[in-house]
Structure 1
C-alpha cells in the first residue's frame, strides 16, 4: 500500500493530495488496491456505500478550481455538487444542517462541499506548496499566513538546500574569476 505524503488537511485538500509527483512521475493513491476503501474509512464513510469513481471526479473538480478557476472548473464542481444538497431544520432551538446525497456520492459530495466552505471563508489560506516540483496543497494555519511549503522537512528543506548550493556555487565561481 502506498503511503500518502500529506495527511491531516481538510477533507477537500486531503482528497486533492491523493495525487502527487514522485521523481517526475505522477502517483495516484486512489489507483492503488484498497486505497479508496481506506480513504473512505478514514473519513467515516462505509466503503460499501461509496463510489471510488465519484471520489476521483470530485478530486478532479477541486483540483481544477485550484489550478485554473474558470467556467470549465466551475462546471466540474457544479456537477459534483448537483449530487446532493443540505436542508436546515431547527432542533432544540438550534439550526441543524442535514445533507441529502445521491447513492455513492457521500464522500465525494462532502469533500466538494467542504471545499466551497473553505473558499468562501479563507481563500487566501489555501496554498500550493512553493517547491517547484510539488503539487500538494495545504491550508495555512500559521499565525501570520506565511507558510510556504506543505512540509518544512521535505520541500522546505530541499528548497533551502538548493538555494544555499546555488549561492555557494556562485560565490566560488566569483572567487575563481578574481
Structure 2
C-alpha cells in the first residue's frame, strides 16, 4: 500500500518513468470548478454551445484535472501518475458516483456496490508519532488515490447534508453542485450561466404572451 499524509508507509513499486502533472498544467476548460472533489469528478463532463465535452477522454485531460487547484488541495499535492491506470480508475469512480447521485439519500443496491468497490482500495487511519497524533491515508497504489478520495469525499457530503447534493435545474445541463447557501435554495450550477439563461427564457415568454 501507499500512504499519504502524516505517516510515510511502504509504497508499491511504480512503473519506470511515469508521466507526472506538469508544474503549470493547461487551463481547466470546465465551466464549474469549485465544487467538492466528490462532485467535481462528476463535473468533468459538461455541455455548452459547441456540444458535449469530457475532460477525462485523454491523458492530457487527466493531467489538467489533476493539476487543478481544488484537486491538488484535495490530494494534498501527493504524486499521482498521469497514466491509463489512473484514468480508468477515475472513470470507474465517476461511474459509481453517477449511480449514487441519482438518489443521494436512497442509493440503490447497484450504486452501493459500485461505490464500495472503489472505497475498498483505500482507508484512513490514525497513529501516534513523535510529533503527536497523525492521520494518514493508505491506498492500494498511487493510481487509486484520486478515485478513492473522490468517493470518500462524496461520503462526507452524504454524512453532512445529502439533500444539498443537487443537479442543475436546467434540464439541458449535466452539472451538479453542493448547495452551501444559507437557505438552501440554490437551483443552478451558476447564476452567470444556467441561471441567467433561465431568467432570459422567462422574460421572453412573458413578453411574447403580451
Structure-to-structure mapping, 1:126-141, within 5 angstroms: 126-141=165-180
The structural deviation recorded for 1:89 is 2.6
TM superposition score normalised by structure 1: 0.86
SS at match of 2:63: helix
- Equivalent-residue separation in structure 1 for 2:109 and 2:137 (angstroms): 26
| Aligned position for 2:34 | 8
Deviations 1:3-33 (A, max 9, x none): 1110011111111100112348431111145
| Aligned position for 1:62 | 97
CA radius of gyration, larger in: 1
Residue in structure 2 matching 1:102, options 129, 136, 140: 140
SS at match of 1:34: helix
The alignment's C-alpha RMSD in Å is 2.2
Residue in structure 2 matching 1:78, options 113, 116, 126: 116
- Equivalent-residue separation in structure 1 for 2:53 and 2:197 (angstroms): 20
Does 1 or 2 have the higher relative contact order (CA < 8 Å, sep 6+)? 2
- Equivalent-residue separation in structure 2 for 1:85 and 1:79 (angstroms): 12
1:37 matched to 2:63? yes
TM superposition score normalised by structure 2: 0.74
The structural deviation recorded for 1:70 is 0.6
Runs of 4+ with >6 A deviation: none
Residue in structure 2 matching 1:157, options 173, 177, 196: 196
Provide the aligned length of Structure 1 versus Structure 2: 171
Name whichever structure is richer in helix by fraction: 1
Gapped regions of structure 2 (runs ≥ 5):
1-25
**Aligned residues of 1:45 and 1:107 also touching (Cα < 8 A):** no
